[in-house]
Amino acid sequence: MSDLLELSLPTGTDLAAVRAVLRDHALTSGMTARRVELLVLAVNEAVTNVLDHGGEGGRLVARAGDRGMVVEIMDEGGTLLPEHLRRLPAPNPTRGMGLFIIRSVCDRVDLDHPGGHSRLRLYMDYAGPIAH
Percentage of the chain surpassing pLDDT 90?
Answer: 52
Is residue 2 very low, low, confident or very high in pLDDT (cuts 50, 70, 90)? low
For 49-75, what is each residue's pLDDT tens digit? Answer: 888 876 777 889 999 998 999 999 998
Q: How far apart are alpha carbons 44 and 30 in whole angstroms?
A: 20
> 54, 60 in Cβ contact below 8 A?
no
Residue 108: phi and psi, rounded to 5, are -160, 150
Is residue 11 very low, low, confident or very high in pLDDT (cuts 50, 70, 90)? low
Q: Is pLDDT above 60 for 85? A: yes
Q: How far apart are alpha carbons 99 and 64 in whole angstroms?
A: 22
For 90-116, what is each residue's pLDDT tens digit? Answer: 787 777 788 999 999 999 999 999 998
Summarize the confidence of residues 20-42 as an average pLDDT: 95
Residue 57 confidence (pLDDT): 78
Residue 64 confidence (pLDDT): 92
> 39, 60 in Cβ contact below 8 A?
no
pTM confidence score = 0.87
